[in-house]
Amino acid sequence: MSDPSQEPLLQQLLRLHAIDQQIAALERELKQSQEDLFSAMDGVAGLKEELERLDGELLRARTDARTAEHTADAKRDQLERLRARVNQVKTEKQYGAATLEFDLVRQEIRKLEDKELEKLQAVEDLEVRRKAVQEELDAADAEVEPLGEKVGKRRVELEQELAIKRDRRHNRAIRLDRNVLGLYDRIRSGRAEVALAPLTGEGVCGYCFTSVTIQQEMQIKGMSTIVCCEGCGVILFPEDMSPTR
Ligand SMILES: [Zn+2]
* pLDDT per 10-residue tile (average), the chain, 245 residues: 62 92 94 96 97 97 97 95 89 89 94 97 97 97 95 97 97 92 89 85 93 94 90 92 62
How far does residue 171's CA lie from ligand 1's centre (Å)?
28
User: What are the structural domains of the chain?
Assistant: 9-176 (1.10.287.1490), 177-245 (no CATH)
How far does residue 14's CA lie from ligand 1's centre (Å)?
16
CB-based contact 203:220 (threshold 8 Å): no
Stated pTM of the model:
0.73
Start-end of H helices in 91-227: 92-175, 178-190, 214-222
How far does residue 169's CA lie from ligand 1's centre (Å)?
25
How far does residue 211's CA lie from ligand 1's centre (Å)?
8
Instruction: Note the pLDDT of residue 193.
Output: 72
How far does residue 167's CA lie from ligand 1's centre (Å)?
30
How far does residue 222's CA lie from ligand 1's centre (Å)?
19
Best CA proximity match to 212, nearest among 188, 236, 195: 236
Instruction: Note the pLDDT of residue 94.
Output: 87
Instruction: Note the pLDDT of residue 22.
Output: 94
Instruction: Note the pLDDT of residue 2.
Output: 43
How far does residue 228's CA lie from ligand 1's centre (Å)?
8
Instruction: Note the pLDDT of residue 89.
Output: 87
Best CA proximity match to 183, nearest among 19, 17, 3, 23: 17
Instruction: Note the pLDDT of residue 192.
Output: 64
How far does residue 206's CA lie from ligand 1's centre (Å)?
7
